[in-house]
Amino acid sequence: MPRLSSLPRPLAAAAAGALLLAFTAPGAWGEEFRRWAESARGLGVGGALTAVASGSDAMLYNPAGLAQDVIWKAELAYSLDESEDDPGGFFDRLDDMPGTPAEVGDLLAEGQESRYRREQLFASFHTGGGFGLAAIDVRTRQSQPTAAGLGYREERFTGGMATLAWSTGLRLIMFGVTVKVLGRQLIEEEFTAAELSDPAFDLEGFRSSGNDFAYDAGVLIRLPIPFIRPTIGAAQINGGDPEFGFSKRPALLSETNVGVSLNPYIFTDAAQLLLMYEQRDINDHAYAADDSSAKREHYGAELSFFPKAHGIWALQLRAGDSQGKGTWGVGVNFDQFLSIDVAQYSELLGTEDRPQWEKRTILQIKLGF
């Protein structure tokens, strides 16, 4: 497994490659639902936010980033993240089961390709002093074809989060801790045509639930090096390995992520460039069954234009590499009241002998004051 001490390429070259979307994917097997919650900004830059996350994103990627904020803000964010090849509303039809033999046949025929949908509602409040509270509801649904008929997995997390972040006087070193109280619901089954047409069929009858605690801890270190202005970030996410009382499948495995960002001063104050590199699970805990370097290494770049007050940029262009595939994203910010972000990325799904690359698009809308 690659370590930070043996990075395969210089950071600057990698991030420039991310801007060009020039990375290609090795034939690696990836596990689904690796991260239970994401943001459109994070997915647009290939997931490499550990060294740059701020605001509500810090409560998902690195709690130390909350110490970067200088104003208080209340925010409500909704995001929809789904497969691009699902124009017919596959999951809506699945919810209507049981169906007639013809309806079940149509559903199984469409289910020969993997389907994915994640809806995320995230309400947060954070102060300029590094304190934040949030409530979250994330529902992820996925289907894949099986020999028996249709494999279906649904996972839902709901709960609350509290973050405390602090820093040195000049914000050169920042620390943060998040405590999470989460409820988890899970459906993971294979359904045959006979089961889907049975009048007694009800998805709710397969649902299990449980509650647990977890924590995140992180640090950011800004190095006083002129021009490139680097930042090093490290975060442990989902500490405590919350299992929610499930024996069928581990829910959230902790991972320790390390990232580096550069903020080179190559533009006037009217623009800003961020270059990012991140390595996931450096202690080989969450990804123990997956040795793919592409799964662990993430690259990103973000170019921001037209600064507004309080560190807000009117327009942000993003690109990156996640799992060896290019990502891109765009963010438009209307002061602190409204922001709209969109990103496109790919994820490796399927089984080890039948892998599938699935292209996804996420739309996120944030309302705040």
DSSP string, 305-354: EEE-GGG-EEEEEEEEEETTEEEEEEEEEETTTEEEEEEEEEEEEEETTE
Instruction: Give the span between the Cα atoms of 244 and 164, in whole angstroms.
Output: 24
pLDDT at 263 over 90: yes
Average pLDDT, rounded, for the chain: 85
- The sign of the CA dihedral 114, 285, 221, 6 is negative
Confidence at residue 318, expressed as pLDDT on a 0 to 100 scale: 98
Instruction: Give the span between the Cα atoms of 165 and 170, in whole angstroms.
Output: 14
> Within 99-202, where are the H helices?
101-110, 193-197
Confidence at residue 2, expressed as pLDDT on a 0 to 100 scale: 37
pLDDT at 67 over 70: yes
Confidence at residue 168, expressed as pLDDT on a 0 to 100 scale: 87
Confidence at residue 26, expressed as pLDDT on a 0 to 100 scale: 33
Domains identified in the chain, total number: 1
Instruction: Give the span between the Cα atoms of 280 and 258, in whole angstroms.
Output: 7
Confidence at residue 359, expressed as pLDDT on a 0 to 100 scale: 87
pLDDT interval class at 22 (50, 70, 90): very low
Instruction: Give the span between the Cα atoms of 292 and 350, in whole angstroms.
Output: 16
Kindly report the CATH number assigned to the domain that includes residue 36: 2.40.160.40
CB distance 148 to 111 below 8 Å = no
Say what the pTM is.
Answer: 0.86
pLDDT at 8 over 90: no
Confidence at residue 85, expressed as pLDDT on a 0 to 100 scale: 66
Instruction: Give the span between the Cα atoms of 292 and 29, in whole angstroms.
Output: 8
Q: Report angle CA 244, 248, 254 to the nearest 5 degrees.
A: 50
* Residues 298-321, mean pLDDT to the nearest whole number: 93
pLDDT at 70 over 50: yes
* Residues 233-252, mean pLDDT to the nearest whole number: 85
pLDDT at 283 over 90: no
pLDDT-wise least confident of 16-25, 109-118, 331-340: 16-25
* Residues 217-240, mean pLDDT to the nearest whole number: 96
